[in-house]
């Protein structure tokens, strides 16, 4: 039993705190001529695995192809290419460093091409979705409300899975489920309003044609005419 001082019942053993799934940011190695703090790779790998899972849960390749490629290549540029360039600066001459900088910028331009393509794909998809709402913000708002109300039960179920993964310290699966929620909330579908089919609402309706539409008039009478047999 745990006491009010945060220790166990015997007063000797401290209470065990839950372990965080996020690795601590360790100070980088700064023992170099530039004093540059080279980072450990565990935090990079942690972020890469989680956000790739998030993009997979959000189905990013459907809405913006090359989005996941942009993220992975961009993170790899910071993790590998940039630090490799720093090492080359330490031991290279001026001409070699100019060449190394040019090669690094070529890698940057390659990644920028992929990321710009992903951004363009996302823009085209968003414009396509906006056209489905008639480019009307009111229709977009109504669709958002309908989408949110229709997804409440699904989101609640996904939230239950997130809590299960949290208790098991499965961070990558948590990010995947968060990506699913992100997709459910942002992939809005237009509201479909069905017409009641009232002919009076038709501007081409001619009120003089009511007899032709309804047929001969029906006359109601309180008198009954009995026909006797011949």
Same domain, 84 and 117: yes
Name which residue leads in pLDDT, 216 or 50: 50
Helix axes 67-76, 41-57, angle to 10 degrees: 180
Over residues 48-102, the pLDDT tens digits come to: 999 999 999 999 999 998 999 999 999 999 999 999 999 999 899 999 999 999 9
Same domain, 123 and 156: no
Same domain, 121 and 172: no
Same domain, 77 and 126: yes
pLDDT score of 226 more than 60: no
Identify the CA nearest to 60 among candidates 153, 178, 191, 164: 178
E-assigned strands of the chain?
Answer: none
Instruction: Give the Cα separation of 71 and 60 in Å (integer).
Output: 11
Same domain, 33 and 126: yes
State the residue range of the domain holding 124.
Answer: 27-132
Instruction: Give the Cα separation of 65 and 69 in Å (integer).
Output: 8
To the nearest whole percent, how much of the chain has pLDDT over 70?
69
Name which residue leads in pLDDT, 13 or 76: 76
Q: Please, what is the Cα angle at 204 between 198 and 210, to 5 degrees? A: 65
Over residues 31-56, the pLDDT tens digits come to: 667 778 888 888 899 999 999 999 99
Q: Where among 117, 132, 147 does a domain terminate?
A: 132
The answer to whether residue 164 sits within a structural domain is: yes
C-alpha distance from residue 80 to each of 103, 107, 133, 205, 225 (Å): 14, 11, 44, 72, 102
Tell me the mean pLDDT in the region 176-196: 83
Q: Which residues contact 25 (CB under 8 A, 6 or more apart)?
A: 43
Q: Is residue 206 very low, low, confident or very high in pLDDT (cuts 50, 70, 90)?
A: low
Tell me the mean pLDDT in the region 142-169: 93
Same domain, 124 and 38: yes
The answer to whether residue 78 sits within a structural domain is: yes
């Amino acid at each position: 039993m745990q006491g009010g001082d945060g220790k166990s019942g015997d007063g000797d053993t401290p209470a065990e705190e839950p372990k965080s799934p996020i690795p601590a940011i360790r100070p980088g190695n700064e023992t170099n001529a530039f004093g540059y703090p080279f980072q450990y790779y565990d935090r990079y790998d942690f972020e890469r695995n989680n956000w790739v899972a998030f993009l997979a849960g959000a189905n990013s390749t459907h809405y913006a192809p090359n989005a996941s490629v942009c993220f992975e290549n961009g993170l790899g540029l910071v993790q590998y290419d940039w630090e490799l360039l720093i090492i080359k600066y330490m031991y290279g001459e001026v001409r070699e460093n100019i060449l190394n900088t040019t090669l690094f910028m070529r890698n940057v331009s390659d990644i920028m091409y992929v990321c710009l393509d992903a951004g363009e794909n996302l823009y085209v998809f968003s414009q396509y979705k906006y056209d489905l709402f008639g480019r009307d913000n009111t229709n977009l708002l109504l669709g958002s409300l309908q989408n949110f109300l229709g997804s409440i039960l699904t989101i609640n179920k996904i939230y239950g899975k997130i809590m299960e993964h949290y208790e098991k310290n499965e961070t990558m699966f948590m990010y995947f489920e968060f990506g699913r929620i992100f997709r459910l909330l942002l992939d809005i579908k237009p509201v479909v309003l069905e017409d009641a089919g009232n002919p009076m609402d038709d501007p081409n309706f001619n009120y003089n044609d009511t007899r032709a539409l309804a047929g001969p008039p029906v006359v109601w009478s309180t008198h009954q005419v009995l026909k006797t047999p011949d």
